[in-house]
Amino acid sequence: MPPHIYSVAQTILARIEAEFLARKDLSSPARINDNFPHTVRDRVSTASMSTIKFPTQAVCLLGRSGSGKSVNAEYLIEYLLTPQSTQSSKSSPQYTNESNLTARKMRAVMCLLDAFTCSRTLLNSNASRCLRLFTIDFTMEREISSPRITASGLYVDILLLDKFRVTRRPQGEPTFHVFYYFLAGLEEDVRREYMLEDLIAPNLFMTPLQRVRLRA
């Protein structure tokens, strides 16, 4: 039985934190002469901490279509961003959430990705038709007394997008969701301008709209 996705996320954070704690003594305040002024000690400690390099961890989700790769990837990223989301709500003057990276914003990004890269197939109603590569950057809080790592950036790379689905739609399968969202939101005059009044008739590029509320 494969491990739970949250246990995988815990392992990732544990490895990164262990590597950081192993190198934390490089910037320990005890190594700095107490004769220096307080401001100088803080600057030296901060500069030393900024030179620490974190290890790289990677997770590759494999499985057939409809096995839950995209959903588990979302759970994994949300778990890794949860400490950042919790700390951003604190009003402590010592903490500054520069990246403003939260799990809620991550879910909004996922909705956009699903709209432009997902489609209904014979095996999955929301199948990803591309390879998604997510990169999360972790940085250190600039607090010498209780240093910790937090997520500071989230990057997404789209690879191997199924572009032929737009011009050579597979038989019996629709195109990407975003086109149906676009047609469902058009006003009547705009539909008439682009000759899209008859959204029920089949064509080579899109399947007919199935829901009554989308046809109106």
Query: Per residue in 83-133, pLDDT tens?
Result: 644 444 444 444 444 557 788 888 899 999 999 999 998 888 899 999 999
Please check if 70 is assigned to a binding site.
yes
Please check if 68 is assigned to a binding site.
yes
Please check if 7 is assigned to a binding site.
no
Amino acid 93: pLDDT:
41
Please check if 185 is assigned to a binding site.
no
Please check if 66 is assigned to a binding site.
yes
Q: Are 148 and 141 in contact (CB under 8 A)?
A: yes
- pTM reported for the whole predicted model: 0.69
Taking only the tens place, the pLDDT of each residue in 34-88 is 544 444 444 545 545 555 566 678 888 888 888 889 999 999 898 888 764 444 4
Please check if 63 is assigned to a binding site.
yes
Please check if 105 is assigned to a binding site.
no
> If you write DSSP's letter for every residue of the chain in order, what string do you get?
-PPPHHHHHHHHHHHHHHHHHHHGGGG-GGGS-TTS-HHHHHHHHHHHHHTPPPP--------STTSSHHHHHHHHHHHHHHHHHHHTT---TT---SS---HHHHHHHHHHHHHHHEE--SS-TTEE-SEEEEEEEEEE-S-SSS--EEEEEEEEEEES--THHHHSPPTT----HHHHHHHHT--HHHHHHTT----SS--SS-PPP-SHHHH-
Please check if 65 is assigned to a binding site.
yes
Amino acid 155: pLDDT:
92
Amino acid 199: pLDDT:
64
Taking only the tens place, the pLDDT of each residue in 125-180 is 899 999 999 998 887 765 555 667 788 888 999 999 999 888 888 888 888 999 88
